[in-house]
Amino acid sequence: MFDVRKKNEIIPPWYIAALFDTLKQSVNTPTNISHRIAPYIPAIFNSIQQALDWIDFDCIDMNEALKLLENHQQNLVIDLVSNHVFKRSNTGLE
How far apart (Å, rounded) are the C-alpha atoms in residues 24 and 76? 16
Residue 54 forms part of a structural domain: yes
pLDDT of residue 61: 75
93 is a domain residue: no
For 57-91, how does the pLDDT look when each residue is reduced to its tens digit (9 = 90+)? Answer: 666 777 777 777 777 665 666 655 555 666 766 54
In angstroms, the CA 82 to CA 38 distance is 16
Please give the C-alpha separations between residue 86 and each of 2, 59, 94, in angstroms, as whole numbers. 34, 4, 18
Helices and strands counted in the chain (H then E): 4, 3
On the question of pLDDT at 52 being above 60, the answer is no
46 domain-assigned: yes
Contact 37, 65 (CB under 8 A): yes
| Confidence tier at 30 by pLDDT (50, 70, 90) | very low
Residue positions counted in the chain: 94
Q: Which domain holds residue 52?
A: 13-88
Residue 8 included in any domain: no
pLDDT bucket at 37, cuts 50 / 70 / 90: very low
State residue 10's pLDDT score.
52
Total number of domains constituting the chain: 1
